[in-house]
Structure 1
Amino acid sequence: MQRIPVTSSDLSSVGYNSISQTLEIQFNSGGIYQYSGVPSNVYEGLMSASSHGKYFHAYIRNDYSCNKI
């Protein structure tokens, strides 16, 4: 999945597949995680947030199952 670089103290890049509703995040620590069942409006909110890290922690981290890849 192609990811877009973001400016964040936590996140390095973000990718999204609207068909499978899979959100892929690479963290500055180097880990890459895929979050399942993420609606497009949540992805759009993440990408337009003034703080990607705060949005991630508030709306994604504990709300969607994930797998480290």
Structure 2
Amino acid sequence: MHLYDGHFGGMHLIWWIIWFIFIMWIFFIPVDIPYQKTKKESPLDVLKKRFAKGEISKEEFEESKKILELKD
């Protein structure tokens, strides 16, 4: 029984296709997977973002920051 006489050529091709699909799946998997745990933002992070966007004034930022630091 010879493995390279043409009888198993089709199965060999199928395994190459399976490996190719598997490797492509690993490299091109979406970064943002649903139900993936994400880093939860702290209240201070949210406050900093709001200040950076201009939604709150410097005085509001400082007052809120003091309140948050008292809670920690």
TM-score band, normalised by shorter chain? under 0.3
Q: Decide which structure has greater strand share.
A: 1
- Structure showing greater radius of gyration is 2
> Could you state the TM-score of these two structures normalised by the residue count of structure 1?
0.26
Which has more helix, going by share of residues?
2
TM-score normalised by length of structure 2: 0.26
Structure with more contact order per residue of length (Cα contacts < 8 Å, sep ≥ 6): 1
